[in-house]
Amino acid sequence: MFTACVLRRDKKRESRIARERVFYLIKRAEEWKNIDYELARRYVELARKIAMRYRVRIPRELKATYCKKCLYPYKAGKFRVRVRKSRVIITCLNCGFERRIPIRPKRVNRKV
């Protein structure tokens, strides 16, 4: 009983720290993408690993900053944006992966 108590994980604290790290890493990736593209990719990779391990949800606006497939952050000249049939299509020019983001009408009575 005593050992169980000592070894108990503080999940709330863990997920808070994990969230901080994920956000920080993606921010770093944004800052570094024009300096060291490989390093920026590594930051995204780490952020995703931590997010998966601790089941942290990466918000949509952060998810839209990197390619889901090759994990390189989108930077000028490396991606293409098209709007078609009420959705935004982002094409990664590194791997050619297309991502479609539907444009939904804004919900008024929903607080985020």
Q: Which residues bind Zn ion (CB under 5 A)?
A: 67, 69-70, 92, 94-95, 97
Q: Which is nearer to Zn ion, 19 or 99 (CB)?
A: 99
CB 105 to Zn ion: min, Å: 29
CB 90 to Zn ion: min, Å: 10
Q: Which is nearer to Zn ion, 17 or 90 (CB)?
A: 90
Planar angle of CA 29, 30, 34, nearest 5 degrees: 95
CB 85 to Zn ion: min, Å: 22
Q: Which is nearer to Zn ion, 7 or 76 (CB)?
A: 76
CB 45 to Zn ion: min, Å: 13
Q: Which is nearer to Zn ion, 18 or 26 (CB)?
A: 26
Contact 62, 49 (CB under 8 A): no
3 to each of 9, 12, 101, how far by Cα in Å? 12, 20, 49
CA atoms 56, 12, 27, 110: torsion sign: positive
CA atoms 31, 73, 42, 112: torsion sign: positive
